[in-house]
Amino acid sequence: MAKVNIPSFKLNNGMEIPAVGYGTWLGLDEKMEFKIQDAPKLVEALSYAIDIGYRHIDTAHLYRVEPEIGQVVKKKIAQGVVKRDDLFIATKVWHHYHREADVETSLRASLKRLDMDYVDLVLMHWPMSISQDGVDEKIDYLETYRGLEAVLKKGLTKAIGVSNFNLEQMKRLLANCNVVPATNQIEVNLNLGQKELVEYCQSKGVLVVGFTTFGSMVPSRATPDSPEPKIDNPTMVSIAKKHGKAVTQVALRYLYQREIATIPKSLSKNRVLENASIFDFELDKEDIAQIAKFDNGYRTDIPSFWQDYSNYPFEKIANPIQGIPLSLRKWKNGANLDID
């Protein structure tokens, strides 16, 4: 079996986080319903990922699959493939739990589903606070962050951070927190470089973890109006051929050289292996200059149904989607959607 050797970045608390992790968001279908039918494929792909050397697993309460992740991890520990201390496991608090005391409630529920005593990192998933009924609760994310600081102090997690925070929100958070967040997990890819936000976080010792790292490059995410590069873009193909790599590997390597960790998700074993096989080549200055030209601020993930809620972090668009999908408001966890 092929193996990968994934280097780590150091967090501001001294912990190390593998530079490439395994993302576990299965996504929504065209009806905005969760793709729980893919849970068995996720279990198989995650098991393979751990077998070949992945040690960073990214999940969330929203993803519904914490029970499956816990089962895979327990099995791999029992098989002697890994010890718990070898793994870096991150989860997230959804915006139904933004009151300070509710953060602990949320994390303890995640730990129960994962069947673990602690996680390595817990994030505030979004800066907004929205009830299951879609009501804007207008809870200050600084209060929510105090809840994260409290669970850190109790040892339920080894590090805390945020996700989907924009530049102004990061500045306000850092001016008012007791513990500097270890990470800010954001969409970042070749179209959405987020240079100012990334550089600010890095200047303050906050690691950027990128999601949607292929943007609209891959066919499943491309739309008629999405910009280049697509998977067959001549510039990207040329750079990939030069290094004997795939275009997606070039994209991940570009982010790694920007000192950004990534959490690509794939249910294909070949892609799981490919995504972590980016540490045996280096993009040169010419490659980087060509790739940087694709940065045009285009955002692939736009949850516009939230844009009128307090603390929504992105630019508002005309004609937003009306109504929050039920799948983002109420759910149960696990492959049978029967676990609280």
Is 61 one of the annotated binding-site residues?
no
Phi, psi of 275 (to 5 degrees): -60, -30
Give 92-161 as a 3 state SS string.
EECCCCCCHHHHHHHHHHHHHHHCCCCECEEEECCCCCECCCCCECCCCHHHHHHHHHHHHHCCCECCEE
Neighbouring-strand partners of residue 262: 20, 210
Please tell me the distance from the alpha carbon of residue 186 to that of residue 165, in angstroms, as a whole number: 7
Catalytic site positions: 63
Annotated binding-site residues read 125
Annotated binding-site residues for substrate read 125
